[in-house]
Amino acid sequence: MRIIDITKSETSNSSMDVITTGELVFLMFDLADLKDLILTEKQNSSGIYLLIGEREIYVGQADDVGKRLSQHEKDIGKDWITRVIFFTN
């Protein structure tokens, strides 16, 4: 049996959920709260991420997910992104 710890970000208005299992860290947050990723030690981590909108999902992989998500946030046409899921170890 595995026990999964679920914690909320220390930032009071944050949407960020963090789930850890020993080997895997799973972060889920609103794109508007991307700035809260900077408050975690996982900001420069490599991993796989999902950008979720109402009708589409984009799956990506990056060596520096914080930097890559910032690029997505600034890209024209990325207004459809509402939630982000990020997996790392």
Joined together, the tokens standing for residue 85 give 């899921």
Per residue in 6-58, pLDDT (tens digit) is 655 555 466 777 777 778 888 888 877 777 766 666 667 888 999 988 889 99
Query: Model's pTM, two decimal places?
Result: 0.73
Give the pLDDT of residue 61: 94
What residue segments make up the domains of the chain, in order of their start?
15-88
Closest of 33, 30, 28, 31 to residue 11, by C-alpha: 33
Q: Does domain 15-88 have CATH number 3.40.1440?
A: yes
- Tell me the mean pLDDT in the region 1-7: 62
Residue ranges of the alpha helices (H) in the chain? 65-74
Closest of 64, 37, 40, 59 to residue 49, by C-alpha: 59
